[in-house]
Every structure is written in structure tokens, then in C-alpha cells.
């Protein structure tokens, strides 16, 4: 990532639009008139989540920061508009709830269940274009931006998709609330904060507290490619009261991470900030110790969450992406060991998974990979996801009951 280093000293006060003067990474080339129409409509539409829910989630995440609970955050890499159906939403909600319950049964620690769902429709990409039959096409950026079909017309950024995505998020969340609303098993929703005009148009001011909140998800996170401290994503989310996640890859320096914590968690409030680390099995033991030491020394009570998916992606010669469960478990093991060594609490696990019958990730042997049905990254199937959750639950138990 290219970092624009806006000097802290030059920072003007936060407003819902203060991000506009800053560099915005990973934004599609919208048609300005179409975008204006979409955001005008979105700004008049109801909030999907309410401030009281956001406070409750912050409390649950504070428990995770203190080692009294553990987050199980899971779902598709990219949700599909076509999958916003009763059947698909129900099976996804059930899988996440089942993973959380399975974690609790093995670990004895309460789980905070968060879906990558009800709005996970936008993707950051490694390159803006891809070659299809020798022709460069804009890359697929998620259904809130364009279509996945490899044609120029499908790949055009279409701002009316922002509104379609809002409505699909609303119906998805509505069904999830019906299925998982009881207080003990509440399912929270999360997504990457990526498309800034959408996020801006779903900011709302809570009249009771006069605080701003992002009303289109409970738990937004900033991706590895957009966590520029001087960039627009960090600026926009710094001013909302939602709990925030930040993805952190192996190139981050301790100084950079502490600066991000200072921007996003200036009050050092447990539950405010979750650091979702995604280093890869080979890097986690080398990179994580210094980061945990620096963040702890700076006094930020973050939730440390392990995303074993995004640092372990393998691109096969066929072009298909896959991941080996063995690598994911190795990263998870290293992550637990480092946190235990640093005296920090393991706070959560972040997975890309699906209840559908797929073979996008393999146990060990990459020749076993099947057709990639995912719109973006390879997902675990339900059994593979359970294996990871079991690994996390066992890691928590090991930490909770030290060997004499
Ligand atoms: O989760 C998403 C992917 O890791 C991200 O979109 C990058 O994918 P790409 O390298 O295929 O662009
Ligand atoms: C894009 C993603 O992750 P990262 O930002 O960590 O690469 C993702 O979670 O799908
Ligand atoms: Mn992904």
C-alpha cells in the first residue's frame, strides 16, 4: 500500500465529510451522476442497526478484550446478491451460530457470534484489471460495484448497485433477526468498510447521544489495503461509535500499528478496536510478538483476532485460489503461542466459510481442490470451519488452564 502521511498536526476536526480531502484507496470509477442519485436515495433510507445494539456489541467485545469471551466472526469472502434468499441466509446464519456454540462447548468460554453478512458486497483487489482472453477487463469488485461475469458491460461500476446492496442487507438482516434475535444467541453483522460514498450515506447521528454511527452494519472493519493512517477509510471510521476492526498484514510496523490504535482508539476503550491479524503461517511467529508488545505498551486494550485465511492464500497454476487447512491451523497455533508468551488474551477467530458443499479449501493436498464457486476467496466448508473453531477452542482451553 502507498501511504499518504498526512501529518497529525495538520488534521482538522472530524466531520461526516472530512474524509473527502484524503486519499481513498480501492474506489471504483463511478459515473458521477449515477453515484449522486444513489447516495441521495441512501441518505433518506432507514438505519439498519441501532445505537443500542452497537453499545451492546461494544460491551461484548470488551469482554473479549479482557479474555472473558471470544469472537467467532465468519461468513463469505464476498456475499452474492443472488444468495440473498431465505434458504441461503438461513443456512449461513445457522452455520455461524453452530460454530459459535461449538466453540463454547469445547472452550467453556462464551462466544460472540459475528457474521460477515448483510452487506459484505464490496471487495478490495490486488490489481484494478485482469486479463480475460488477452483483453484487460476491470476486475470484479463485489456485487455492490459490478457483475462477476467476464464481460466489459458486467464489469462497469454501476452505482445503482449500492442501493440494491442496501436493500439486500436490510432483508438479510431482517431474516437473521427473526432467526437469532434472542439475547443469549444474538448474531451480529459485519462487513468491510470499503465504498466510502455508501458508508458516508449510511452515517446517522444518534439524537440521544449526539454521536455519529455507521447505521449499515454493527461492526465495520478496514481492510489491509485501505488502512492507510492518512487515508479516507481511517478518517471516516475514526468518527463513528461502532466497534471497529482493522486487518493487519505482515508488512505493518509496530510504530504504524500503534499510530493506528491512537487514531481509532484514542480513549483506550475496551471493545472499541479489534486487530484482525492475517500474517500467514510462516510469518506469524516472527511478526506478531513485537506488535503485541508495542500495542500493550501503548495501553490499547484491543481484541486480538486471528484471521488465518488471508495470509495463506495459494494461487494454483490454473489461476484458482485455494488454502490449506494445515496452514491455517499452523497460523492459529503460532498466534496462540505468541499471545500466551506476551501475556495477551486471544480474543477471536475470523473465518471465510460457507454451509454450501464446496471444496475450495483443501486439507493439505492442493490437487484435491474443486471448482471455485466463491465470488472471490476460497472458503472453508462447514467441517473445515469446525476444525478451525475446535483448534481455537482448544487454544483457549490451553491458555485458561496452564500446564502445572
Ligand atoms: O478477500 C479478498 C481478497 O483477498 C482480495 O480481494 C484480494 O484478492 P485478489 O488478490 O484476487 O485481488
Ligand atoms: C479482503 C479481505 O481481507 P484483507 O483486507 O485482510 O486482505 C477479506 O477479509 O476478505
Ligand atoms: Mn477474502
Place of cell 432467526: 179
Nearest ligand to the CA of 315 is 1
Within a domain: residue 386? yes
11 within some domain: no
In terms of residue numbers, what domain contains 324? 22-400
Only one residue has cell 473445515, namely 384
pLDDT of residue 11: 79
In-domain check, residue 6 = no
Residue 338 lies in a domain: yes
Q: What is the pLDDT along the chain (404 residues), one digit of tens a residue?
A: 545 544 455 678 999 999 999 999 999 999 999 999 999 999 999 999 999 999 999 999 999 999 999 999 999 999 999 999 999 999 999 999 999 999 999 999 999 999 999 999 999 999 999 999 999 999 999 999 999 999 999 999 999 999 999 999 999 999 999 999 765 569 999 999 999 999 999 999 999 999 999 999 999 999 999 999 999 999 999 999 999 999 999 999 999 999 999 999 999 999 999 999 999 999 999 999 999 999 999 999 999 999 999 999 999 999 999 999 999 999 999 999 999 999 999 999 999 999 999 999 999 999 999 999 999 999 999 999 999 999 999 999 999 754 44
Residue 402, class by beta-carbon neighbours within 10 Å (0-12 exposed, 13-18 middle, 19+ buried)? exposed
How far, in whole angstroms, is CA 161 from its chain's centroid?
20
CATH of the domain at 328: 3.20.20.70
Query: Does 369 map to a domain?
Result: yes
Residue closest to 308 by CA, chosen among 389, 370, 368: 389
Quote the ligand 3 centre to 10 CA distance (angstroms).
Answer: 34
Coil/strand/helix, residue 314: strand
Q: Are 189 and 218 in contact (CB under 8 A)?
A: yes
Binding residues: 77, 116, 224-225, 247, 278, 310, 352, 377
What gap in Å lies between CA 157 and CA 28, rounded to an integer?
6
Considering just the CA atoms, what is the radius of gyration of the chain in Å? 20
CA atoms within 13 A on the CB side of 298: 22
Annotated binding site for Mn(2+): 77, 310, 352, 377
Distances (CA, A) of 267 to 152, 228, 252, 302: 47, 20, 22, 12
- Does 14 fall in a domain? no
Containing 70, the helix (H) or strand (E) segment is: strand 70-75
* Cα 206 to averaged position of ligand 2 atoms, centre (Å): 30
Of residues 116, 100, 72, the one with CA closest to residue 376: 116
Q: What pLDDT is attached to residue 181?
A: 74
Looking at the structure of the chain, the number of domains it has is: 1
**Per-residue b or e along 136-150, where b marks 16 or more CB atoms closer than 10 Å to that residue's CB:** ebbbbbbbbbbebee
The pLDDT assigned to 334 comes to: 98
Ligand 1 pocket mutation, candidates 123, 195, 309, criterion most atoms within 8 A of CB: 123
Query: Which ligand 1 atom minimizes the distance to the CA of 123?
Result: 6
- Whole-Å CA distances, 80 to 127, 147, 375, 394: 21, 10, 7, 33
Residues in the ligand 1 pocket, defined by CB under 6 Å = 77, 123-126, 310, 376-377
Q: Which of 26, 73, 74, 77 to mutate for ligand 2's pocket (most ligand atoms within 8 Å of CB)?
A: 77
Asked whether residue 308 is assigned to any structural domain, the reply reads yes
> Is 307 a member of any domain?
yes
- In ligand 2, the atom with minimum distance to the C-alpha of 226 is 5
What pTM was computed for the model? 0.96
Q: What is the pLDDT of residue 7?
A: 46
What is the 195 CA–ligand 2 centroid distance (Å)?
A: 14
Main-chain phi, psi angles of 393, to 5 degrees: -65, -40
Residues flagged as binding site for phosphoenolpyruvate:
116, 224-225, 247, 278
Fill in the DSSP letter of residue 205: E
Please name which of 304, 86, 83, 48 lies closest in space to residue 189, comparing C-alpha atoms: 48
Amino acid at each position: 500500500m502507498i501511504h499518504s502521511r498526512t501529518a497529525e498536526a495538520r488534521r482538522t476536526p472530524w466531520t461526516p465529510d472530512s474524509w473527502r480531502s484524503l486519499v481513498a484507496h480501492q474506489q471504483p470509477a463511478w459515473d458521477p451522476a449515477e453515484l449522486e442519485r444513489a447516495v441521495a436515495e441512501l441518505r433518506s433510507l432507514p438505519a439498519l442497526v441501532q445505537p443500542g445494539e452497537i453499545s451492546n456489541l461494544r460491551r461484548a467485545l470488551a469482554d473479549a478484550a479482557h479474555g472473558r469471551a471470544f469472537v467467532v466472526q465468519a461468513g463469505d469472502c464476498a456475499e452474492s446478491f443472488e444468495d440473498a434468499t431465505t434458504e441461503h441466509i438461513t443456512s449461513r446464519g445457522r452455520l455461524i451460530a453452530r460454530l459459535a456454540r461449538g466453540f463454547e462447548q469445547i472452550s467453556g468460554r462464551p462466544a460472540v457470534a459475528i457474521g460477515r453478512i448483510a452487506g459484505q458486497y464490496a471487495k478490495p483487489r490486488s490489481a484494478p484489471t485482469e486479463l480475460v482472453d488477452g483483453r484487460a477487463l476491470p476486475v470484479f469488485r463485489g456485487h455492490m460495484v459490478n457483475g462477476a461475469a467476464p464481460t466489459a458491460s458486467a464489469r462497469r461500476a454501476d452505482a445503482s448497485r449500492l442501493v440494491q446492496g442496501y436493500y439486500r442487507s436490510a432483508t438479510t438482516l431482517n431474516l437473521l433477526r427473526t432467526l437469532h434475535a434472542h439475547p443469549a444467541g444474538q448474531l451480529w453483522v459485519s462487513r468491510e468498510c470499503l465504498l466510502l460514498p455508501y458508508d458516508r450515506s449510511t452515517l446517522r447521528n444518534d439524537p440521544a447521544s449526539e454521536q455519529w454511527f455507521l447505521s449499515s452494519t454493527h461492526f465495520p472493519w478496514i481492510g489491509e489495503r485501505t488502512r492507510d493512517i492518512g487515508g479516507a477509510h481511517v478518517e471516516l471510521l475514526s468518527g463513528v461509535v461502532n466497534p471497529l476492526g482493522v486487518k493487519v498484514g505482515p508488512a505493518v510496523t509496530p510504530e504504524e500499528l500503534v499510530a493506528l490504535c491512537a487514531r481509532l482508539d484514542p480513549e483506550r476503550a475496551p471493545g472499541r478496536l479489534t486487530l484482525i491479524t492475517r500474517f500467514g503461517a510462516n510469518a506469524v511467529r516472527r511478526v506478531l510478538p513485537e506488535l503485541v508488545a508495542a500495542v500493550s505498551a501503548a495501553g490499547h486494550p484491543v481484541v486480538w483476532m486471528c484471521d488465518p485465511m488471508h495470509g495463506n492464500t495459494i494461487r494454483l497454476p490454473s489461476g484458482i485460489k485455494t488454502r490449506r487447512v494445515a496452514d491455517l491451523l499452523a497460523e492459529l497455533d503460532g498466534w496462540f503461542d505468541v499471545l500466551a508468551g506476551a501475556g495477551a488474551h486471544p480474543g477471536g477467530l475470523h473465518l471465510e466459510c460457507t454451509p454450501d458443499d464446496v471444496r475450495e479449501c483443501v486439507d493439505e493436498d492442493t490437487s484435491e481442490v474443486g471448482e471455485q464457486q466463491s465470488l472471490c476467496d476460497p472458503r472453508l466448508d462447514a467441517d473445515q470451519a469446525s476444525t478451525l473453531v475446535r483448534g481455537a477452542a482448544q487454544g483457549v482451553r490451553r491458555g485458561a488452564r496452564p500446564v502445572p
